Amino acid sequence: MMEKNWIYIFIAILSYICLGFLQVSIDYQREIENLKSPIVLMPGEKAGSFILSGFKGIAVDILWLEIEKSWHSGQHYKILPSLKAISYLQPNYTTVWEIGAWHMAYNIFAKEAERGRRLERMFERMKEKMDFKENLGIILEIEKGIKKIKEKIEREGLPERENCEIIRKLKVYKSIIENLKKDTKNYSFLRIIDGIVESMLAQIFWYKSGIDFLKKGIVYNPDKYNLYFELGWLYFDKGKDYKNAVKYLEKAIKFPHPEYVDDVLAHVYEKNGQIDKAIKQWEKLLDTNFREIAKKALRSLRKNGKFTP
């Protein structure tokens, strides 16, 4: 009986060897089907314990509920670590990349813009009341410079590159203000102008962060239309960078997508000066729900070469 019993162990060991080979094959399959889970270092304590037992989805849901709570209470910056954590835990959950980027480039951006406007109003009020004896000329020059930069951004869109003229100028203003702060009596006044410069730099930073976040999301989800669309839209709407907008929207339409993506691409082609392509794009939309607007656009483009305001 005992001798026969060893057969079980023998077969079990043999099966283990088969299992080893099969596991290699499964690992490979997980790799090619994007089912592999990378090692994650969690910034949140709550999520960590769930990851240990393979409940990433639940961890993501808890973080998502925290985002909801912070969102409704206006704590925009508190959302960021949770968004990043979710993007680590479930990188294929495209909603997190979309909402994260939108949150940075629109919500936080708007908050910074509002702060800038508030400071500008304060600056105007103080300028009338105060009697400046020191450094008034430099401060007013900076104010003029900031106004010019704002106009440039409105005309040409937000910059993406770190070493562009706008950022360089803003950084120079900031260092000048820092130096003036050391030996001036108008400290509070300088703090306001400093705040205006900071808010402009922050707006550019959050626009750029939104772009970077979407680009990272695309690395994990290269075969879905939505992240390319969001990136194209961001370049179009905030950056007025029509070249890049065309680049990403053209990528978006390579994958199954809703009709509005084609609509946006038609507008972007026009803005990028590619009228022929814009016409072709509108023609494609003649058989869709965008039929009426496509007809108008085609009439206007053929007649005036312009449709998008």
Partner 1 sequence: MVRKVWTIAVNTFHESLRKKILYVLIVFTIIFIGASKFFSFLSREEELKMIKDIGFSSIEFFGALIAIFSSAGSISGEIEKGTIYTLLSKPITRANFVIGKFIGQILIILFNLIIMTVFFITLLLLKNNPFDLELFKTILLIFFELVVISSIAIAIGNFAPNSFNITFSFLLYIAGHLTSYGKQLIERVRNPLFKGFGTIFYTILPNYENFNIKDKVVVGIPVSWIYVGKTITYGFIYICISLLLAIYFFNRKEI
Q: Which residue in the set 27, 259, 283, 292 belongs to the binding site for partner 1 (CB under 8 A)?
A: 27
CB-based contact 223:94 (threshold 8 Å): no
Residue 106 CB, shortest distance to partner 1, in Å, is 17
Instruction: For residues 88 and 31, give the distance between their C-alpha atoms in angstroms, rounded to a whole number.
Output: 17
Comparison of 203 and 221: residue with beta carbon closer to partner 1: 221
**Other C-beta atoms lying within 10 Å of the C-beta of residue 100:** 24
Instruction: Tell me which residue of 237, 236, 234, 240 sits closest to 212, measured CA to CA.
Output: 234
CB-based contact 184:134 (threshold 8 Å): yes
Q: Which residue in the set 20, 74, 256, 309 belongs to the binding site for partner 1 (CB under 8 A)?
A: 20
| C-alpha 294: how far from chain center | 29
CA separation, residue 220 to residues 49, 91, 223 (Å):
25, 6, 9
Whole-angstrom distance between the N-terminal and C-terminal Cα of the chain? 90
For residues 43-102, which are near partner 1 according to CB under 8 A? 52-58, 60-61, 64-65, 68, 90, 92-95
Comparison of 15 and 179: residue with beta carbon closer to partner 1: 15
| Residue 57 zone, left/alpha/beta (φ > 0; ψ -120 to 50; rest) | alpha
Comparison of 8 and 161: residue with beta carbon closer to partner 1: 8
- Residue 258 binds partner 1, judged by CB under 8 A: no
Tokens of 269: 């082609």
Selected range binding partner 1 among 29-37, 132-140, 239-247, 294-302, rule: CB under 8 A: 29-37
Q: Which residue in the set 11, 110, 140, 164 belongs to the binding site for partner 1 (CB under 8 A)?
A: 11
Measured at the alpha carbon of residue 282, what is the angle toward residues 240 and 294, in degrees to the nearest 5?
Answer: 100
Instruction: For residues 309 and 300, give the distance between their C-alpha atoms in angstroms, rounded to a whole number.
Output: 11
Comparison of 64 and 123: residue with beta carbon closer to partner 1: 64
Comparison of 45 and 276: residue with beta carbon closer to partner 1: 45
Selected range binding partner 1 among 16-24, 113-121, 187-195, 274-282, rule: CB under 8 A: 16-24
Selected range binding partner 1 among 31-39, 254-262, 269-277, 291-299, rule: CB under 8 A: 31-39
For residues 93-152, which are near partner 1 according to CB under 8 A? 93-95
Instruction: For residues 214 and 290, give the distance between their C-alpha atoms in angstroms, rounded to a whole number.
Output: 27
CB-based contact 246:273 (threshold 8 Å): no
Selected range binding partner 1 among 33-41, 112-120, 161-169, 274-282, rule: CB under 8 A: 33-41
Comparison of 16 and 77: residue with beta carbon closer to partner 1: 16
Angle between helices 242-252 and 225-234 (to 10 degrees): 170
Instruction: For residues 71 and 64, give the distance between their C-alpha atoms in angstroms, rounded to a whole number.
Output: 10
- Residue 3 binds partner 1, judged by CB under 8 A: no
- Residue 256 binds partner 1, judged by CB under 8 A: no
Residue 236 CB, shortest distance to partner 1, in Å, is 24
Q: Which residue in the set 22, 110, 140, 286 belongs to the binding site for partner 1 (CB under 8 A)?
A: 22
Helix or strand holding residue 1 (H, E)? none
| C-alpha 63: how far from chain center | 19
Comparison of 34 and 289: residue with beta carbon closer to partner 1: 34
Residues near partner 1, by CB under 8 A:
1-2, 5, 8-9, 11-12, 15-16, 18-20, 22-23, 25-27, 29-30, 33-39, 52-58, 60-61, 64-65, 68, 90, 92-95
